[in-house]
Amino acid sequence: MSAFMNPEQAVADRSAPTAQPRQRASDIRARGEPFTWALGGALGVGCLMIIGFLLMVFWNGVGTFVPKPIAVVTTTGGEITAGEATRTELYRPTPEVVAALSEAARQTIADRDGFAERTLYRIGNFDFYSEDFRWVSAFDVIDVKYPKDIVLVERTEWGPFIGHIESIAVDGEVIALDSVHDPRFAEAHAQARARWSQIQDIERHQIGAVNYRINQQRLTLRRIELKDGRDSQAYSETKRAADAETAELQSEYERLTEQAQALRQRNAGMTVTLEELGGREKTIGIDEIVRTYPANDLSSSEKISIYLSRWWEFLSDEPREANTEGGVMPAIFGTFAMTLLMVIAVAPFGVVTALYLREYATQGRLVAFVRISVNNLAGVPSIVYGVFGLGFFAYVLGGSIDQLFYPERLPNPTFGTGGLLWSALTLALLTVPVVIVATEEALSAVPRSMREGSLACGASKWQTIKYIVLPRALPGIMTGIILAMARGAGEVAPLMLVGVVKLAPELPVDGLFPYIHLERSFMHLGFHIYDVGFQSRNSEAGKPMVFVTTLLLIGLIFVMNISAIVVRNRLKKKFVGSQF
């Protein structure tokens, strides 16, 4: 055969049809495409549900404090309803109601398959009407107006008032008002609210500090009595010193009481007369007014100012009106403090346990049993942890602490009841399985070659763990702590048993020694949401506060998680060469 092919023969060979390999048919299930699409679809549905929930909370929460116009609705019966329209829905009226309507109204309902439209108005004036909201059916409406002279008054009691401000009285002088923008009203209101703040400061902080010191003197004397008896010299000397200091404190208490009473009398001479649309009047103190504005005559800048002032009140003030109005500052502080204490408690215990199980314990049936138990603890209902925390931490451990260190306060418990410390430890038990599992996974991800190299260079086992293993496992450990924070900050059921309350009169941190009071009860954003949504006298009135508090809780958890994620990412960059 010639070494070179004829060009014509080569062209013929290239132009000749070649045999195609026979493709073998395969089952579509073998290629895994249906499962891939199913998994992708499930992921998409999950993401849409999360995004939809967050958007719903964000939309309702952000819009809670927007000042809304006030509609004055006149119905066929001559009744006048004034309020903020909150929502509109379709409902099916009874046959008796439909029979009493006009022909046009009956035809409209028939065209809608028997449904009619109605609107829910927030009418306020609970002290007049004994209701916060009122439904108005569309077929009953004759006229809807938005008068510019109508005002909304936010009060410290009885909720909002809708109507007119007739006059104010300042030291016996009655001043008729034509507008809520009257400078005389603004000046009187500012003065009254300033005195109201002074009264709150005197009664809660200054008088509270005096009462605290008097009580400490009593407890000190009681302690000496239990230790040495009433007939001892120590008791006599302590009693003389306590009586002298108590007399001084009592004088200070009376002076502060007189000062608060004088301020209260000044405010008693400043009143405002309110009139609802039906003509009924009510006179209250000007200091009881938190905010007032003409709802239908606001400029854009005034709306923004009211919106921001409401947000500031929400973030910095205390709740009022059964937690449905006012602020949630104590709940914010309590949630943050409890979560911080929980992390301080759960991080070392979880990491040390995982270190022992992974690095020191001999792998066998006992260690396997411990791991199975830890994993099962993650599935125990949270309320069970609350019962355990109440029984062990509060009653057993706290009761023992009271008997050893606070016998003078018994039978009133100090640590023998729910408090901030026991709540943090209870949630630490709840979340410690998450930290243990995440830490073990992070430790196992560190290459064995690094351990062997460190040991070969003469390092001890602890030096290898301290300088080689732990630094490279820290990103994974931080992941476990982040998950623990997210779960612990949102738990409510166990906290209801071990320390959280509807309203905490005192914060766990104040200016009184020892400054940090871990035995005190506290407020929590999660319980605040439950209380407002399910325990308030009117669930409809509490719904806006539920959304805005939920938004705040999500934001607080987001900020804490982001802070931990930043730390974790910095650790990852530091040991990026060792990540697998």
- Give pLDDT, residue 23: 54
Residues β-bridged to residue 88? 119
d(CA 418, CA 398): 9
Which residues face 282 on adjacent strands?
274
Q: Are 353 and 443 a contacting pair, CB within 8 Å? A: no
What is the C-alpha to C-alpha distance for residues 239 and 256, in angstroms, rounded to an integer?
25
**Domain covering 335-578, topology:** MetI-like fold (1.10.3720)
Contact call for residues 481 and 393 (beta carbons, < 8 A): no
pLDDT of residue 375: 83
Contact yes or no for 334/421 (Cβ under 8 A):
no
The answer to whether the beta carbons of residues 556 and 490 sit under 8 Å apart is: no
DSSP state of 513: T
Cα–Cα distance measured from residue 120 to residue 540, given in angstroms and rounded to the nearest whole number: 10
Instruction: From first to last of the 580 residues of the chain, give the pLDDT tens digit.
Output: 444 455 555 545 555 555 555 555 556 556 667 778 888 899 999 999 999 999 999 999 999 999 999 999 999 888 999 999 999 999 999 989 888 888 888 888 888 899 999 999 999 899 999 888 999 999 999 999 999 989 999 999 888 999 999 999 998 888 888 888 888 999 999 999 999 999 999 998 899 999 999 999 999 999 999 988 888 888 999 999 999 999 999 999 999 999 999 999 999 999 999 999 988 999 999 999 999 999 999 999 999 999 999 999 999 999 988 888 889 999 999 999 999 999 999 999 999 999 999 888 888 888 888 888 888 888 888 999 999 999 999 999 999 999 999 999 999 999 999 999 999 999 999 999 999 999 999 998 888 888 889 889 988 889 999 888 988 888 888 888 888 888 888 888 899 999 899 888 788 888 777 888 899 999 999 999 999 888 877 778 888 899 999 999 999 888 888 888 888 888 777 765 544 3
Going from N- to C-terminal start, the domains of the chain cover: 71-146, 161-298, 335-578
308: amino acid identity, one letter: L
pLDDT in tens, 514-543: 888 899 999 999 999 999 888 877 778 888
DSSP string, 140-168: GEEEEE--TT-EEEEESSSS-EEEEEEEE
Give the integer Cα–Cα distance in Å for 346 and 351.
Answer: 8
d(CA 130, CA 400): 49
Total residues belonging to the chain: 580
Question: Quick one: pLDDT at residue 2?
Answer: 45
| In contact, 119 and 134? CB cutoff 8 Å | no
Provide the token pair at 278: 């039906």
| Coil, strand or helix at 103 | helix
Reading phi first (left if > 0) and then psi (alpha if -120 to 50, else beta), residue 114 is in left
pLDDT at 77: 83
Q: What is the pLDDT of residue 334?
A: 92
List all residues 6 or more positions away from 502 whose beta carbon is below 8 Å from its beta carbon.
Answer: 323, 523, 527, 531, 535
Q: Report the alpha-carbon angle 180-183-184, nearest 5.
A: 95
Name beta bridge partners: 167. 176, 273
H-run or E-run covering 322:
none
For residues 219 and 235, give the distance between their C-alpha atoms in angstroms, rounded to a whole number: 12
Q: Which two tokens stand for residue 58?
A: 């964000």
Residues near 543 by beta carbon (within 8 Å), at least 6 away in sequence: 533
Number of neighbouring beta carbons within 10 Å of residue 91? 11
| Phi then psi dihedrals of residue 73, to 5 deg | -105, 130
526 with 492: CB under 8 angstroms? yes
Q: What long-range pairs does 195-202 form, CB within 8 A, spacing at least 24?
A: 195/263, 195/266, 195/267, 195/287, 196/267, 196/287, 198/260, 198/263, 199/260, 199/263, 199/264, 199/267, 202/256, 202/259, 202/260, 202/263
CA distances from residue 366 to 172, 358, 362, 373 in whole angstroms, order as listed: 83, 13, 9, 11
pLDDT of residue 4: 46
Give, rounded to a whole angstrom, the gap between the first and last alpha carbons of the chain.
59
List Cβ<8 Å contacts ≥24 apart for 472-475.
472/446, 472/575, 472/578, 472/579, 473/439, 473/442, 473/443, 473/445, 473/446, 474/442, 474/568, 474/571, 475/442, 475/568, 475/569, 475/571, 475/572, 475/575, 475/579
